[in-house]
Structure 1
Amino acid sequence: MSTRKPTGAAVLQPEVTQAITEAVLDELAEQGFGRLSMEAVAKRAGVGKSALYRRWPSKHDMISAVVSEFSVTRAEVEDTGSLRGDLMLTLKALQEWITHPRFSRILPDLVAEGARHPGQAEVMRTSIAIPRRERGEDMLRRAIARGELPEDTDLEMALDLLAAPMYWRLVVRQAPPGPDYLDRLADLMLRALGAKV
């Protein structure tokens, strides 16, 4: 006896979810957070608005989920066995994230939106910043366990140090990184962290 597969609202088709995700990112890049509408996302994705509401209860939930998925997966880097190797992969992933053709237009808008609406800032902090920092903390704790960093390393300050220079240069100053930027930045960070490498 064969069992009947559920249809309709019971099934969220991955290809539809992917089309919606791409539409959200495109709309955010073109229109910004404030002007993005569920109608425009549905139209761009080629679906009805009900397809969006089956996945997320609101525009804010949809944006948070899509941006979180896009951002957090890009913070996952493999363990190379050395702090410098891990740091280089992390910095490369960070650079690719904040210079991504769409996301480079989305990130400044999300920061501005968070400044205007503290509730939105908290959502982005919990769905993007905290998970990304947890991955960075894992990297630093591995380095401490290997004896490459002092046991009393201030992890909060170290995590700020990992992201701040690149964000300042590429997003705030919009200055080109240059061909050896990541190597120079990694060396500077290793010295600042007191790494034994």
Structure 2
Amino acid sequence: MPSPGSAQESAPTSRRSKITPERAQELYTAVLELLRESGYDSLTMEGVASRTRCGKSTLYRQWGSKPELVVAALNGTRRTLFSDIDTGSLSGDLHGAAQVVDAASGKDTALMHALSHAALQNPDLLCALRSTLIAPAIAAIDAMVERAVERGEIDAENPAADYVAAQVIGAMRARSLLEGRYPEDGFLARFIECAVLPALGLPAGPPASPPASGGSGT
């Protein structure tokens, strides 16, 4: 004989409509905050319910499991890092990217760190992590490089041009692994000046004028 709760579990459609888009965003934000604070393994549906004052049963009815909720949170808070940066020079664009990273205070790096191991065990989680954080950042940096080639700033045949995104994103990720800390203000800018720009045949050092955001998006 069905338990009293089974009738409710068998009819989730009517329940789902009660979570508004605004409420869903609150839940997604809480999920990502908890991930940054304690990592994927320590994240629980109970913890999300407590943080958001939402019934645990509501979370399970809406998303079914922790991995599904995390995937939904990543997709629901998709950000396009660096996409609005177009300063007219590659040096300015890359320094603009460094400013974005500094402004984020390591949040995206912390999130990638929290999810990296778990994502290797969960294909859906890995796909969501790549599509929401990694792929947009790569696409935006690749667009910066393409614009620089079109302007004649760098040689299209320079092999280093193919690795700019890997260098920038790798620097964001590697410091937490190698030194146990996230990139502090100025770290990525210094890395760009000392490693990325010289490899591209561009003068090391910051651009002549402060980078500005605006112009075209990707």
Q: TM-score, normalised by structure 1?
A: 0.73
Contact 1:74 1:97 in 2 (8 A): no
Instruction: Using the TM superposition, give the Cα deviation of residue 173 of structure 1 relative to its aligned residue in structure 2, in angstroms.
Output: 1.3
Contact 2:78 2:133 in 1 (8 A): yes
Instruction: Using the TM superposition, give the Cα deviation of residue 13 of structure 1 relative to its aligned residue in structure 2, in angstroms.
Output: 2.3
- Calculate percent identity across the aligned residue pairs: 28
Instruction: Using the TM superposition, give the Cα deviation of residue 105 of structure 1 relative to its aligned residue in structure 2, in angstroms.
Output: 4.5
Task: Could you tell me which runs of 5 or more consecutive residues in structure 1 were left unpaired when the two chains were aligned.
Answer: 1-6
Q: Note the alpha carbon deviations across 1:129-162, whole angstroms, 9 max, x for none.
A: 2222111111111111111121234454221112
Contact 1:71 1:97 in 2 (8 A): no
Contact 1:64 1:127 in 2 (8 A): no
Residue matched to 1:72: 79
Q: How does 1:97-108 map to 2 (within 5 A)?
A: 97=104, 99-100=106-107, 105-108=110-113
Instruction: Using the TM superposition, give the Cα deviation of residue 24 of structure 1 relative to its aligned residue in structure 2, in angstroms.
Output: 0.6
Residue matched to 1:138: 143
Contact 2:149 2:156 in 1 (8 A): yes
Q: TM-score, normalised by structure 2?
A: 0.67
The CA RMSD over aligned residues, in Å, is 3.3
Structure showing greater Rg: 2
Residue matched to 1:3: none
**Residues 8 and 64 of structure 1, relative CA distance in 2, 3 Å threshold:** closer
One of 32, 43, 54 as aligned partner of 1:36: 43
Higher relative contact order (CA 8 A, sep 6+): 2
Number of aligned residues:
188
Residue matched to 1:109: 114
Instruction: Using the TM superposition, give the Cα deviation of residue 171 of structure 1 relative to its aligned residue in structure 2, in angstroms.
Output: 5.0
Higher share of residues assigned helix: 1
